[in-house]
Chain A
Amino acid sequence: MSQGGFMEGSLVILQVLINGLLLAGIYGVAAIGLNLIFGVLRVANIAHGDFMMLGAFIVYSLSTLGLSPLIGIPAAGGILFVLGILTERFLVEKVVYQPMAYSLLLLYAVSIIVRNAGLNLWTSNYVSLNIIPGSLQIGPLTISEIRLVVFTIAVILTAVFTFILNKTTVGKTIRASIQHPDLAGACGIDVRKVRALTFGAGTLLAGITGTFFIMLFSVNPEMGDMMILKLFAIVIVGGLGNYLGTFVGALVVAMAETFTGFYGTTQFSDVAVFSIFLLSLILRPQGLLGGRKTT
């Protein structure tokens, strides 16, 4: 294809890299909550995408009432945190450490309930919030402002969670609960409480991610489908239970997508993503940065 006077070859690669990095931020923040829940509870939360949807539509509903997303985002986070704790206490807690099929089915039911409640409340129409649509121009390179903001928040959230898990007492109790739930319980850690709090934190992250999605994409209450498979691929490529790994997984997946999109076609992007997923399952089933650790 002709690049006639548009950008030098190396600059084009840089632009694709920038686009990939910004996309990785969105994927990373979406996947980290999923990984957190898996790490502590050993359940694959397939309702994660639907919790994202709730966050998105809470912010949307508040904005139709005239409230700024600066209020809407924390509100969505708070509501989802409480909802997550309730879901864990009354539902997920019953199947924790049971065979995987139990929790999968249970969370699938939760997913269906949340989605259909969403369809009833907000109809199946696509909605979106148009916030900071512009871009930074650096020479011939362009950087989407909203994606830059989301990327920055994603990096901060990852850093905060990594710090909490590694350097604080709360983090130590969580890690203890992951590594030896029985022993942790014997040492006086309220493992049930840790599980509920973790699930709450995971859904809080899902909710906040959802609020980003409605600013980046046009979504309806069925948006959970849009991402959930890719999020699992990201978590597994990076390493289950490994938070820095999730970010690396997001980076790999996003770069695969943007580079395939540019040098091949966007249609092949998902082929590339899931080929990498398969390869990593075969070659490095523990994930790029190794799994079952918290660092």
Chain B
Amino acid sequence: MKTESKRASAVTSILWGSLLFMLCSFGPAESAEPIILGAAVSLTGNLARSGLDQKLGYELWKDWVNAKGGILGRKVDLKIYDDRSEPMTGAKLYEKLITSDKVDLLIGPYGSGVTAAVSTAVEKHKMVMIAPGASSKEIWERGYKYVFQMITPARYQLTSSVEIAKNSGYKTFAVINADSAFPRDLAKGALEDIKNAGLKLLLHEEYPEKANDLSSLVLKIKAEAPDVLIAGSYLPDSVLLVRQARAANLIPKMIQFGPVGPSIPDFAKSLGDLSNNLLGVSQWEPSVKYPGSPEMVAAFKKKFPNEEADYSVAAAYSSCEVIRMAVERVGGLDQGKLRQAILAMDVTTPFGRFKVGPTGDQVGHLTVLVQVLKGERVVVWPAEAAVQKIVLPFPGWK
């Protein structure tokens, strides 16, 4: 009896032992293998600043997702290269990430130029990529299936402004823009929005980006006396326009710039009191209250106390979030299924709404409106992100 039970217990322990061995060799080993996200961003060259912000966003997200147990029970790791701000280098590095590093998932580079080059390599290998740093619309007009836009393209950046003008009872518009690609796309979008809203356009004119006198244009706008002035511009021409509008006492009810204007600190620095009450748009601001955003900003400040969380950080972080949601919905890493999942998504990330059109271009994300109030840049729209109430009509120059 004694020997029998001994034998039995020996058999049981062998059975248990081999089960344990199997668990050790298969189960835990499987979950120890991390999911690798690969990207190349600009860490040197002329796009280095924004590229670095994007990298910080990726790293912040990695910490966050690993702290809550990774994706599908697997840890997440990053593989990030420097594309030196060169489109061709970027494309080569993505080839390397896909074919030689064999990363599981891709996330995008910074800038429309690099993204355009990279997307061709990515599309060839049928890998899904969310591009957090490309606002150009051309990238999404080439029939590509695997590349998705994160930020609001130029076309829709002034959409909320036109809507606010309409809701404020303003009916007539003057739209001006610098004659280069981005300001032109901004203005074209505004023109379409004005038309679709049944509002009246009194004047649309382009001016040279490097103009050193806009007095004649300002005089024409003054003659038309529009309710709203919309300017698609860069910084130097924005500053010149404001100065000459002030000198000519041009006082419409609303003065709206694109993303380069009141929403960047240098604008108020250059113009002082003249920048007050002018409106700009921004992809994202640290003060917005989208779900997860305040927590992300807090975590960022803790991890990178010497850096400032700007929109590139938020867009990068949130594009990883979109990828995570897609992987969890699919329950695996099949790129074709991930693509379908992303196309079907309508979600809110710390960056705001994410919803893409059939070509992968961003149609859901809205810009926030920023107004300079008493020298401070303040988010004034939408209501859920606003820190203060929007000041309209424009009270005039001080």
Contact = CB atoms under 8 A, between A and B. Distances in A.
Interface of A: 1-4, 6-7, 12, 15-16, 19, 22-23, 26, 125-128, 130, 133-135, 137, 142-147, 216-220, 225-227, 254, 257-262, 265-267, 269-270
Contacts of B247: 133-135, 142-147
A144 B244 contact: yes
A6 B271 contact: no
Contacts of B217: 261, 265-266
- B-side interface mostly: helix
Contacts of A135: 246-249
B219 A134 contact: no
A137 B203 CA distance: 25
Given A130-B271, A135-B249, A269-B208, A16 B223 contact: no
A74 to B, nearest CB: 23
A22 B210 CA distance: 19
Nearest to B236: A218
Contacts of B270: 126-128, 130, 218
A165 B207 CA distance: 40
B236 A219 contact: yes
A203 B203 CA distance: 42
Interface residues of B, number: 38
Contacts of A137: 249
Interface string B201-245: 001011110111111110110111100000000011011100110
Contact of B266 (A19, A125, A227): A125
A27 to B, nearest CB: 9
Contact of A126 (B225, B248, B266, B274): B266
Closest 10 CB pairs of A and B: A261-B216, A144-B247, A218-B239, A128-B270, A19-B215, A262-B216, A266-B207, A130-B272, A218-B236, A135-B247
Contact of A261 (B179, B210, B215, B249): B215
Nearest to A129: B270
Contact of A19 (B208, B210, B211, B213): B213
Contacts of B223: 1-4, 6-7, 12
Given A1-B220, A2-B224, A270 B212 contact: no
Nearest to B268: A130
A220 to B, nearest CB: 8
Nearest to B225: A6
Given A126-B266, A218-B240, A16 B213 contact: no
A269 B208 CA distance: 9
